[in-house]
Amino acid sequence: MKHYLSAGDLSRPDAEALLQRAQALKVEWKHDGHPELLLRGKTLALVFEKPSLRTRVAFEAGMTQLGGHGSYLSANDIDMGGRESVPDVARNLSRWVQAISARVFNHATVETLARYSSVPVINALSDREHPCQALADILTLQEHFGQLQGLRLAYIGDGNNVCHSLLLLGATLGVNVRVACPFDYRPDPEILALAQQRAAESGATIAISAVPQEAVEHADAVYTDVWASMGQEHEAIRRRQVFQPYQVNTELMALAQANAVVMHCLPAHRGEEITAEIMDGPRSVVFDQAENRLHVQKALILTLLGM
């Protein structure tokens, strides 16, 4: 694996090895930090067209903890496709850094970076996928339940980039993924087809519905995301009307397993896609997910660099 652009890039052994390494790094960091600074003298370029809290800090902190450095480049610093072409950005960065993390609007941008880069490229978010988030989510489920095979994960809301990566990684690792969303906001058919193929190989199931109650019934985990992502602000009013029946609240959670957890990739809009009572309640593992971004991203960087 030279790059990590999609959760579908990982085979089951690859994904399991990444999760195992992330867990080991987490234990090591909490015990006494990382005595071996494996990334000493190495730099990760963070090419971000979108602002970020979790993604940026987790990558920068992870590099620092392992002895390396994260170099943040905003849209104003580079203006990819404007002041400088995407291929030229990749060619330049490849001469200076050991890896590139790109948070972009169009998925084609991160694919082009990878095509012209001689160093590993990580998709830190695109309009098609959020594969680093999915790794953190699956690690959180594994920590909480002790195993992944046969778990029932219900995703409620927009069939967006987060949903796509969860479908792919969940199906690869044997998680039964149920998605409930309005018909016009269903996941991409190509992503769905690949997820169903992976599910057939792992013994998992994939289900798509327009009824949130169907997806949540007996679920072990209930996941939601904002109804309007960055770049969709002009659709916010219409989306609030369409997605209102898909709010994760006490009534909906009553249909899940008694020990079911609540998940959200953040940032959250309390009172819209999720109520404050649920978001901040005892079943929430939202901030465990956020913490685990740090550990899975460290594991990912080390793996891509062959370390």
Residues serving a catalytic function are: 103, 130, 133, 225, 265, 293
CA-based end-to-end distance of the chain? 13
What angle do helix axes 107-116 and 86-96 make, rounded to 10 degrees?
A: 50
Q: Give the tokens for residue 178.
A: 């149920």
| Residue 51 backbone dihedrals phi, psi, to 5 degrees | -70, 165
CA diameter of the chain:
55
Residue 267 preceded by cis peptide, ω within 30: yes
Q: Identify the helix (H) or strand (E) that includes residue 71.
A: strand 69-74
Which residue from 100, 29, 37, 25 is spatially nearest to 67, judged by alpha carbons?
A: 37
Q: Enumerate the β-bridge partners of residue 229.
A: none
Question: CA 270 to CA 19: how far, in whole Å?
Answer: 30
Q: Give the tokens for residue 27.
A: 């234990």
Q: Give the tokens for residue 148.
A: 């992944």
| Residue 125 backbone dihedrals phi, psi, to 5 degrees | 155, 135
**Residue 242: exposure state from Cβ atoms within 10 A (0-12, 13-18, ≥19):** middle
